[in-house]
Structure 1
Amino acid sequence: MGRYPDKVGAAIVAAGGSADTVVPVARQDSALSGLARMRELLASLPAAAAYLAGPDLIVEFANNACRRLTGDRDVAGLPIRRALPELAAQGHLELLDHIMETGQAAGGSETPVWVQRPGQEPEQLFLDFVYQPAHEADGTVSGILLYAADVTEHVTDRRRLEALTEELADTQERYRTLFETMPQGVVHYDSNGSLIGVNPAASEILGMDLTALTSWPVIRQGQSVREDGSPLPPEDLPVPVALRTGEIVSDVVLGITHGQTGERRWLLVTAIPDARDEQGRPSRAYAIFTDLTEQRLTEAALRESTALLGRLREANVLGVVVAGEERIYEANDAYLDIIGYSRDDLEAGRISWREITPPGWTDVEKKAMAELLRTGACQPFEKEYLHKDGHRVPVLLGGALLDRKPLRWTSFVLDLTARQRAEDERAELLISERAARAEAGTAQERLTFLLHAGSLVAATRDRDELLDQVAQLVVPSLADYCVVFLPTPGGRLCASALTHRDPDLAKTLTHLREHPIPLAGPLIPQRAYTTRATQFTPEVAAEMPAWLRAEPELMGIVKLMHPESAIGAPLLAGRDPLGVIVMGRGPERPQFATTDVEMVEELARRLAVGLANVDTFARDHTIAETLQRSVLPDHLPQIQGLDLAVRYLPATEGANVGGDWYDAFGVERGRVGLVIGDVAGHSISSAAVMGQVRSVLRAYALDTTDPGMVLQRTNAALLRLFPEALVSVVYAVLHPATGLLGYAIAGHPPPILVTSTGTAEYLDDSDGIMLGACEEATFTTGYRRLQPGDRLLCYTDGLVEHRNRDISEGLAALAETLHGIISLSSEQTCASVQAALLDPAERADDVCLLAARLLG
């Protein structure tokens, strides 16, 4: 028993009394026997019990539950401060000193206590406890009896229930707000004949007061009809049908009598069965309905107007049209003949009265429209239309308003061309105008051509693709054939991209690739290359004999193209030409003019810039890819008790190199650090930053095993070294021997944990913002205890997000893929995820996968 055997027994007996109770115990065998039985009883209690004796509070007795609570530490005979130093550090033992001084009992409920069990991480417990002093006959305190019950599970469950209750309240509030504010009417029915809920929109649509809507049927006998006007019995309404069949009844159109105005209202109703009883029968149902009355009135008015228009259109005495603010909706053949458009143009919505009105008539149109809106009609007035072919058509026009919402009117149009044709001066002006418009159209075509060329150059990153697309753009819009010559390392010009408007001649033209020519010579590409100036040959026939003598094989092929005129322009983007673009026209189209030379030179300039950019991009891509590969680990470390696997899948679309990376390395006391991250951007800079961040994170990981602290230090370093960079990362520390996993997240998709039973769970409870985003950012560490067979998968966003799927859908698909799958190695897990979520042929972004499985 120790130094105070009688005191222990006395304290044990006194524990059942008050704090002031003193129970002297005789030193007789019967008393000692009773005390022994009492010690046996306390030793078998499920709650922790211990006795602390003397002023140093030496542990004289501790039952099995107490030893389990402290990690089976041998505390007998030790002062309580040496036996449980972590409790002293938390201030929990100061109360014992107070009890020794005052002799007053003390207790606590759900007190948080951190316990450090040997060989384990600190663990927080919640305890209910009682400290009972043991008194000597003279009233002094000789020791303290401790009683403690572990209520950690109860506290955890209660807190979880409180959180769920709060979340449920928030959900109910959002549902209530949606229910009360949505424009559709909603009525919630109970099969017992009562109404559970009616929103304000339903009350307004039905014309009934909310307070009166307490039971159903809401629509009484004889107050509802089908679309054809026949009566609709109450039992055939959507809600009774849904309750009877258990199926959703969708999009039923029915007419009802409005409760206040008595007018007929048309509703589109859907009934949805809700809760079901034990036999699977619906016990509640929702009715959701939209008021179609205004829509039907509009449709009826439009049908009536359409019928009138049909009669006028068939007459074809004058033009008749129905128009709105943006377009013309209906017109007869006479009107279409006036403006030169087809009925296909009309039905496709390609005719707008604003676009066929010349600018000079804007003020006249505004006055007529104001009169139309003010009086419902406008007096006939003269104006002009723009015919589809560009000439102006004089007309006499009057109109009448059909509807204001949406705005619709009808116009009656009389063609005045015959009268105007008699005026010679007017005719000459019309001819001049057509010529001017033709010239403007040509300029617009040239501008459109160059804009298209600029778009191709800016969007293309592949050299051959760029040349082919430019050649295809030139033919046939600008020329009959096009050839792009590029210099070879051997000092010759070789045909690289070729095309002809005639498919058969295009095949013949490809043979030019077999005949490279010297850089200097009399041919158009040679002269353009050596002189660095555009070569314009309006009459090819005059120079063809000399060309044939210089390069008979190559020009023999060109002669088959029957060129009439040709232009060759050097591709200048620096000191030396990058190549030459040559194009020609045959006898079936006009020869090139001097105005075409300017456009060809501009095209050559843009193509040269594009080629230079492609070459620069290719060099940058190679450097970035090499840099990225150099910092990724060649192999994963071999960790006892842990199965690791990794996949790095570069993007297949475009040539961008991203900043995705992974890492795995050993840290102190048998732990392993796991990293997956992504530097924002796709460039050499991104790859360089990735290498630096990887090294910085590794360095801090060797200094502390707290993932949150590692990310906080890495964030501070990143802001100093690369203030413009943003990095998302997951850093986790796993102890294979104990299964304890600590993790922290910085703006990255959360890792997913798959248990040995196949349950998939995202570890998203310690998320923080991206590294580099904020100097004051903090990162918390989450903990999980892994069991043998559990798998952890870390990944970059390219796995779960792309143009056809947002990240929430991708996360759901990943969880569905891993759920229920057990007994897979880390390599098999990576392969399974890759096969399920990634297209083997197309990936818009890099993808990194890092899988870890805890072995048994």
Structure 2
Amino acid sequence: MNKCKGILRCLAGSNVLGLFLWDVHGNITEANDAFLNMVGYTREELLSGRLRSRDMTPEEYRRLDEKGLRDLAETGVCAPFEKEYVRKDGSRVPILFGAIMLEGSQHSGISFVLDLTNRDKVQKALSESEAQREAILEASFDCIITIDHEGKILEFNPAAENTFGYRRSEVIGEEMAERIIPPASRERHWAGIRHALATGEGKVLGRRIEITAMRADGSEFPAELKMTRLFLKGPPAFTGFIRDISERKWIEQERHRLSFQERIARTETEEARRHMAFLSEAGTLLASSLDYETTLAGIARLAVPYLADGCVIDILEENQTLRRLAVAAADPAKEALGRKLFHRDPSDLNGQHPIRRALQIGKSIFLPEITDEMLVSVAWDDEHLKIARSLGLKSAILAPLRVGERTLGAISFVLIDSGRRYRTADLELAENLARQAGAALQNARRCRGSWKEIRAHKRSKDRL
């Protein structure tokens, strides 16, 4: 803002260059004497609030004005162009018109008007205004780089020096692409320049786009570019307005990261709440009866479909033989196939079968993806393999029913056609359920043993 005030003070006393301030409604809110003399209005008429640049612009120049307004909105700068104003007395005055937005404002700006009636005066005024042009370049926070039709740098403002790490004297006359365009993007840059020269159009001209730029030390950074073509005598030139958007990109990425973490946290919290409710319901079921065959069959049903598409529970009897206690599936047809698959004595399971391995090592077997090779390795025979394949097993967890150092059986969870696959969080839930079921099974067996002892003691006592 201090720089803008300095520019205003510099321009206010000019007796050749007209200057006026305007607001978002297009009203001229302040003007120097040079401008008022140029258009023939008095300061009293200015203060009345009735002066508007648009009202003094002939219809044929309105499109140029609209383009200038778009440039101001997009880049904060309206490049100078020629037009006419209609004076108060109805006569016309040819002018050179330019404008910039005031720093920190989206709704007000300053316009510069040069009377082209006397070209000698114009040349003198242009010379006098060179320092003013330099002040505008100095005040800009955006990098302003102008190149000729060969891509060589004609202008390199202080913001560009600070951003790219070059002194102006180092780059004037040098190819811009070699200085600020990464090697991987240079051919595309030259193709765009050639197309713009040949057709007067281009994908980047007049549009704000994001590019990757390169500093003097070779480091790259994201930038925003607005490129305009300058129609000068001779070959055309191009001015680019470039802004380092590294901080903005970082803020966007950080916002996305935090948003993603928040969604994950909400999902995990909700999942944990559902898991706790599931385990609580399982605990209530297991505590409802000492008839462990009934309660464990209920656990198999409870696990489907919350934790599995199919559930099988095998228990080790006192003589260490394996007995299948329960089979449950979400699809009755799949459940029937599952019972057929396991109709043989589970004690026949070979040592490679995941259930047998879980019993032997006392740890869970986690199979996030079941392959056909796995099915072949554990099948009893061709018929058994055919049934296993028809079930369409996709993923499995086999958790031992373990209490302390003792393994009492195993509970198997499988996913078939729900589209899910087991994750580590599912393994933790399955093991928690298996621990609850193992503890309930041991407690029921102990109580059953105690009852047998009591009844035997009573019978002995009765015989006596």
TM-score bracket for the superposition, by shorter chain length: 0.3 to 0.5
Give the number of the structure with larger relative contact order, counting CA–CA contacts within 8 Å between residues 6 or more apart: 2
- Relative to its length, the structure with more helix (as a share) is 2
What TM-score does the superposition give when structure 2 sets the normalisation length?
0.41
What TM-score does the superposition give when structure 1 sets the normalisation length?
0.23
